[in-house]
Amino acid sequence: MALIDDVFSDLRLQGVVFSRMTLRGDWGYAKPDLQGAPFHLVVSGEAWVVADALGEPRRLGEGDVAVLSHGDPHLLLSGPGARTRPWSEIVAREGLGRWSPGERFKTCDLVLGEGAPETVLISGVFAFHDPRPNPFLQGLPSVMVARSDADLQALAGLLDREIRTRAPGAEGVGGKLADLLLAQVIRRQLTSSEAPAGWLRGLADPEISGALSAIHRTPERRWSVELLAREAGMSRSRFAARFRAVTGQAPLDYLTRHRMFRAAGDLATRRVPLAELAAAAGYESEAAFSKAFRRWSGHAPTEYRRRLLRAGQDDRTAL
């Protein structure tokens, strides 16, 4: 499996909350921090996004999309300087539903304000299986803005139709379209100079990408810095320095983090024996794996699974 495919798989997208909003006149909404990755896709008109990571307000035109990878609070405005209201007021006033685990695709259709101009937005939240900070999300820029092209315009049109019509099969189709939207935005970052140190920069690095691919392809292998340097075609010392500069981590730290995150995902989504988890993570004994997992997560694997189950029963994301 190519590294980019592996990364998309490890993002573990669980569901997507959509709200289609027709916004009229002057408007502004303050969105809180969220567990997940909020996004805003402009179907028609324009909107402005304000977030600490952006510095200046960023305009979104028709077909543009912004994804806030880390769930940071932000403002969504009709124009710079527009007065804002807490989004929670809209949630309460409109009686919006809430997303819960198991719902792949949930939508609502809102008309807010009056007069001109008019903007149609598809906003939502990409929700992920694991409630902990996701290393693949954390390796993305805090805010990703993808500018309109034929692919994004086509996706905007298809999503708009699925939300408006709720035709048979809309849940499955909408979920797949959401996967495509996220993939398109991440792909744009591969050629961007704005990517922070992390797997994304490593993926675009012609030397380090070979070692990353090897880690993702066979995480259970007994890797050493020397073996990974060989995959990159570099000396040990040069590889170690380059890997840290590009990804922000030492090679074996990245390996351990990847192994533990994969194991955590299996604990969240599968009933896997501990011995199988240990072997898949490259550990020869359950005890060694449990010790490493506790050091990484703060909990033994069995306790971690119980905590996830309890959290899942209470997890809800407001539209």
How much helix, strand and coil, in percent to the nearest 5, is found in the chain? Answer: 45, 20, 30
Q: Please check the confidence at residue 271 and state whether its pLDDT lies above 50.
A: yes
Q: Identify the residue with better confidence: 39 or 199.
A: 39
Domains of the chain by start residue, with CATH: 3-189 (2.60.120.280), 199-312 (1.10.10.60)
Q: Identify the residue with better confidence: 67 or 268.
A: 67
List, for residues 159-172, the tens digit of each pLDDT value.
888 888 877 877 77
pLDDT at residue number 252: 96
pLDDT at residue number 120: 93
Q: Identify the residue with better confidence: 243 or 33.
A: 243
The rounded mean pLDDT for the chain is 84
How far is C-alpha 173 from the chain's CA centre? Answer: 19
Q: Please check the confidence at residue 314 and state whether its pLDDT lies above 90.
A: no
| Alpha helical stretches, state H, 166-300 | 170-189, 199-204, 208-217, 225-232, 236-247, 251-269, 274-280, 286-297
Q: How does DSSP assign 134-190, residue by residue?
A: PHHHHTS-SEEEE---HHHHHHHHHHHHHHHH--TTHHHHHHHHHHHHHHHHHHHHT
| Rounded mean pLDDT, 255-282 | 88
Q: Report how far residue 266's alpha carbon sits from residue 157's, in angstroms, rounded to the nearest whole number.
A: 35
pLDDT at residue number 193: 61
pTM for this model (two decimals): 0.78
Instruction: DSSP letter for 206, please.
Output: T
Q: Please check the confidence at residue 190 and state whether its pLDDT lies above 80.
A: no
The backbone torsions φ and ψ at residue 139, rounded to the nearest 5 degrees and listed phi first, read -80, -5
Q: Please check the confidence at residue 113 and state whether its pLDDT lies above 90.
A: no
Question: At which residue do the structure tokens 């993570």 appear?
Answer: 281
pLDDT band per the 50, 70, 90 thresholds, residue 20: confident
pLDDT at residue number 23: 92
pLDDT at residue number 94: 67
pLDDT band per the 50, 70, 90 thresholds, residue 102: low
Instruction: DSSP letter for 77, please.
Output: E
* Burial class of 107 by CB neighbour count within 10 A (0 to 12, 13 to 18, 19+): buried
pLDDT at residue number 317: 47
Radius of gyration of the chain (CA): 21
Instruction: DSSP letter for 133, please.
Output: P
- The tokens of 57 are what? 């307000």
Q: Please check the confidence at residue 270 and state whether its pLDDT lies above 80.
A: no
Q: Identify the residue with better confidence: 204 or 51.
A: 51
